[in-house]
Amino acid sequence: MSDCIFCKIINGDFGTEFVYENEHAVVFKDINPKADTHLLVVPRLHVESLNELNDKNLLGELMMCVKTVTENLGIKSYRTVINTGKDAGQEVFHLHIHILAGRIH
């Protein structure tokens, strides 16, 4: 998707540093953090939201990314959030999982 900001980030267009990456997903810091640690787990595949996702395996891979990243960072307590749809606050229509830890801003 040429006009999708997360596809551009995955493509390296903005030089965004990845906290973690594998064949399925990349993980980077949210540009407008709402907690001390605020990361986004983003699938390499462009899927608009959970509503458009049909791949059970991909969801499993994304959740395993959450586990790997939090474990790597020594984070034992955190919240995961998936906003689905405009009315729920979804702003970027490329599926992503928020990881929020520490003090919420």
Mind telling me the catalytic residues? 96
- Among the listed residues 6, 39, 95, 99, the single contact to Zn ion using CB under 5 A: 6
Q: Does 104 interact with ligand AMP (rule: CB under 6 A)?
A: no
Under the binding rule (CB under 6 A), the answer on residue 92 touching ligand AMP is yes
C-beta of residue 43 within 8 angstroms of C-beta of residue 89? no
Beta strands in 1-105 (DSSP E): 20-21, 25-29, 35-43, 79-81, 97-104
68 binds ligand AMP (CB under 6 A): no
Q: Which residues bind ligand AMP (CB under 6 A)?
A: 5, 30-32, 40, 83, 89-92
